[in-house]
């Protein structure tokens, strides 16, 4: 695919680049997106499951085991997935700090909880929606991974109680209606406020506050470029590269 020379030049000459990724970045790894049908993933999650039931505190309190089992299923699916060219190209870009001869500052913010950016080599990732591989107690917030009271959490089919306070242990992902992790949000705002290029990759830009970061960047003079095979037509976007994240980022990175 061809990328307009004007867009290439903008990417190469930017000094501070902030990249926001969404589920589309993992689509080429075979991970289902939330909202759109995609050839790689066949179905989107929210076309099959009700987000209010699976991704809200009310849904969890109504039926904790149903939610726990859904996340256990998603974890088992994700275990088979590997980082794709998009994850690797971003990691390489962060590592080399440049796509051209100039030094660039590259900050990565993700809405994804799958850990594939880290698996693809990214060391610094601002995770806005948490991480599916971690767990914590709903009540006392103690973090749990691996074994709890001699039981491997990975094997649990039902919600387990916190040995400290008796609260329920839940996956450490942000659900609808919940606040984002404070430090991650502060870092994301600051990286968006101070960049001159904001890249929105593989996100439908429908979920706030993450979706507002592009507008924040633009309000401070940044150029906003979207990479998405189905352009969102957001008024904040200056240029859209209508292609798959893996393909486009690999081209940008050569």
Query: Taking the complex as a whole, how short is the minimal distance between the CB of residue 1 and ligand OAD, in angstroms?
Result: 12
Contact 35, 22 (CB under 8 A): no
Query: Taking the complex as a whole, how short is the minimal distance between the CB of residue 138 and ligand OAD, in angstroms?
Result: 16
Q: How far is CA 249 from CA 7, 11, 84, 118, 125, in A?
A: 13, 11, 11, 17, 17
39 Cβ partners below 8 Å, 6+ apart?
A: none
Query: Taking the complex as a whole, how short is the minimal distance between the CB of residue 55 and ligand OAD, in angstroms?
Result: 5
Query: Taking the complex as a whole, how short is the minimal distance between the CB of residue 248 and ligand OAD, in angstroms?
Result: 8
Nearer to ligand OAD, 104 or 130 (CB): 130
The answer to whether the peptide bond before residue 209 is cis (omega within 30 degrees of 0) is: yes
Give the binding site for ligand OAD (CB under 6 A): 22-24, 27-28, 33-36, 38, 44, 51, 55, 111, 129, 174, 176, 202-204, 206-207, 227-230, 232, 244-245
Nearer to ligand OAD, 74 or 104 (CB): 74
Nearer to ligand OAD, 126 or 148 (CB): 126
Nearer to ligand OAD, 166 or 209 (CB): 209
DSSP state of 165: T
Give CA–CA dist 245/243, Å, rounded: 6
Residue number, nearest CB to ligand OAD: 24
136 belongs to the catalytic site: no
Give CA–CA dist 110/25, Å, rounded: 10
Catalytic residue (one of 87, 117, 129, 136)? 129
| Active centre residues (catalytic) | 129
């Amino acid at each position: 695919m061809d990328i307009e020379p004007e867009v290439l030049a903008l990417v190469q000459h930017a000094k501070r680049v902030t990249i926001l990724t969404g589920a589309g970045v993992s689509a080429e790894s075979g991970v289902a997106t939330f909202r759109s049908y995609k050839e790689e993933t066949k179905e989107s999650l929210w076309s099959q499951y009700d987000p209010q039931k699976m991704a809200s505190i009310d849904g969890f309190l109504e039926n904790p085991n149903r939610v726990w089992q859904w996340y256990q299923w998603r974890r088992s699916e994700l275990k088979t997935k590997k980082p794709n060219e998009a994850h690797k190209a971003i990691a390489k870009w962060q590592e080399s700090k440049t796509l051209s001869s100039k030094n660039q500052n590259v900050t990565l913010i993700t809405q994804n909880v799958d850990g594939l950016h880290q698996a693809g080599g990214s060391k610094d990732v601002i995770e806005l929606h948490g991480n599916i591989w971690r767990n914590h107690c709903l009540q006392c917030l103690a973090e749990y991974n691996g074994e709890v009271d001699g039981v491997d959490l990975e094997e649990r089919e039902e919600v387990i109680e916190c040995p400290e306070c008796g609260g329920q242990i839940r996956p450490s992902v942000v659900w609808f209606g919940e606040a984002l992790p404070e430090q991650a949000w502060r870092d994301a705002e600051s990286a968006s406020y101070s960049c001159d290029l904001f890249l929105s990759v593989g996100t439908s830009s429908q979920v706030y506050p993450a979706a507002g970061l592009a507008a924040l960047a633009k309000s401070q003079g940044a150029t906003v470029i979207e990479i998405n095979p189905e352009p969102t037509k957001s008024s904040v976007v200056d240029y859209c590269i209508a292609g798959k994240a893996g393909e486009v980022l690999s081209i940008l990175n050569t």
